[in-house]
Amino acid sequence: MLARLTFITLIGVLVSACASMSEDECRTADWYAVGYEDGTRGVSAEHFGERRKACAEHGVSPDLDAWLSGRDEGLKAYCTPQRGFQQGRTNTPYHGVCSASAEVDFMAAYQDGLLVGEVERHVSDLQNQLYRAEDDLDETEKWLRRSGDIDAADR
């Protein structure tokens, strides 16, 4: 439970840090490029509010139009079936940012990725169980050898 709480807290800190910008970053930002980068990561338009708030602390007002234009271009790179599959496979949440026409193929690939990722995680869990069982078997055989109930030839 403590590990889960620590993980959730860490994620919250990382997410909030993503929108934080220094005064220098706010003043020199190419808002089209920032929007493009945000779009390629599939962030929602609400994310701009976090950037605006961070820059307001430094007396800077970001360029919404440039950011939106860049984000729209970035979303074209994000809203592909390949990216949908990758996002699903890694179980990364989708925030409904793709256009209706792109979302159909994105979501189909996303669902496929979710299934593949689930199978891969299950296989990994089974491999870990197997490794633990092999370690347990080795420890048991060592114990039996020390106790004299088995000799090296029996292995």
50-107: pLDDT as tens digits: 999 999 999 999 999 999 999 999 999 999 999 999 999 999 999 999 999 999 999 9
Asked if residue 52 lies in contact with residue 21, where contact means CB atoms within 8 angstroms, the answer is: no
Beta strands in 10-155 (DSSP E): none
Asked if residue 31 lies in contact with residue 63, where contact means CB atoms within 8 angstroms, the answer is: yes
Alpha-carbon separation of residue 121 from 31, 47, 89, 118, 131 (angstroms) = 38, 30, 10, 5, 15
In the numeric block, which tokens belong to residue 14?
A: 């990382």
In the numeric block, which tokens belong to residue 150?
A: 């088995």
- pLDDT tier at 37, thresholds 50, 70, 90: very high
- pLDDT tier at 16, thresholds 50, 70, 90: very low
CA distance 40 to 30: 16
pLDDT of residue 155: 52
